Amino acid sequence: MSPNRLEAFSDGVIAIIITIMVLELKVPHDTSITELLKLLPVLLSYVLSFVLVSIYWINHHYLIHLVDQVDRLILWTNLNLLFWISLTPFVTAYMGENHAAPLSVAFYGLVQTACSISFLALRRAIARHHQYEAELKTLHSKKFRKNQIAWLLSALSIPLAFVSVPLALLLVAAPAVMYFLPAKAEYESKH
């Protein structure tokens, strides 16, 4: 399988995931301001998930771009990543509809942690092929470190949700943004 096809399929799945989340915004059947405001938590969790999935999409693009040949391990670690990202619409609605109750935030953090670890696993599967290319090897190790901090922070948000929901949400959002956002230079490199 060529990396292009793998990327096109992944892009398709991610485009669907990011879009169907909006179906969880249930339309209120009266038009009072109160009813509309009740949607705010669902809307806010949608915004958070939209940003997080966007970041996965961007990082996935830069990572797959380094692949020369898709082997079985890359194929399945990629499908594994898509599986965990596909749970995002569910946990988004779960957290939104329950007004960020501790258990729902912990569950959201759990799925984010799984996404982060899956991304790390995909990077490992790809880095295996780059052991003798000094430049790529260095790139991967720098990213590994960032990725490990990211999933640890996400994982910390799980118990923290039962202590302080705002802090847990901060932990879920912060490392993802910090880590997964590629450095400015990368965007301006070719492709």
Q: Of these, 83, 141, 142, 177, which contacts a second copy (CB under 8 A)?
A: 83
Q: Near a second copy by CB under 8 A, which window of 68-76, 112-120, 139-147, 163-171?
A: 68-76
The whole-angstrom distance between residue 176's C-alpha and the CA centroid of its chain comes to 8
Q: Collect all residues with Cβ–Cβ distance below 8 Å to 182 and sequence separation of at least 6.
A: 58, 59, 62
Sign of CA dihedral 75, 15, 38, 30: negative
Whichever of 57 and 144 has its CB closer to a second copy, that residue is 57
107 in Cβ contact with 95 (< 8 Å): yes
Q: Reduce the secondary structure of 129-167 to three states and give it as a string.
A: HHCCCHHHHHHHHHHHHHHHHHHHHHHHHHHHCCCCHHH
For the segment 110-149, give every residue that binds a second copy (CB under 8 A).
Answer: none
For the segment 32-51, give every residue that binds a second copy (CB under 8 A).
Answer: 32-33, 36, 47, 50
Q: Near a second copy by CB under 8 A, which window of 53-61, 120-128, 130-138, 147-155?
A: 53-61
**Position 70 contacts a second copy (CB under 8 A):** yes
> First-to-last CA distance in the chain?
21
**Position 5 contacts a second copy (CB under 8 A):** yes
**Position 13 contacts a second copy (CB under 8 A):** yes
- As a whole number of angstroms, the distance between CA 108 and CA 93 comes to 10
122 in Cβ contact with 63 (< 8 Å): yes
Shortest CB 146 distance to a second copy, Å? 17
Question: Which residue ranges make up the site for a second copy (CB under 8 A)?
Answer: 1-2, 5, 7-9, 11-20, 22-25, 27-33, 36, 47, 50, 54, 57-58, 61-62, 69-72, 75, 79, 82-83, 86-87, 89-90, 93-94, 97-98, 101-104, 107, 184, 187-188, 191
